[in-house]
Amino acid sequence: MTETRPDATTVTADMPFEKALEQLEEIVRRLEKGDVALDESVTIYERGEALKRHCESLLKRAEARIQRITLAPDGRAAGVAPLDVE
């Protein structure tokens, strides 16, 4: 019986990070086992690359939304500023 797999490029913009990461982890497990045929390995590797790009994009968007609280000289919250991740 042949298992149906999504096309390598099928990663929807609304796919949640957790689901994409779960699929990516499954691909890594399958490739690490080494018992996948070469043509299927290439296909699932391409899917893994698409999922990786999707996860990276979601993480970058999340980082852009994170802010840090700035403090006034008296120690009280004065506002927010972009989080300096570097």
pLDDT in tens, 12-30: 889 999 999 999 999 999 9
**Alpha-carbon gap, residue 70 to 43, rounded angstroms:** 48
List beta partners, residue 77.
71
CB atoms within 10 A of CB 43: 16
What does pTM read for this prediction?
0.67
More confident residue, 8 or 1: 8
Is the model more confident about 48 or about 65?
48
Radius of gyration of the CA atoms of the chain, in A: 20
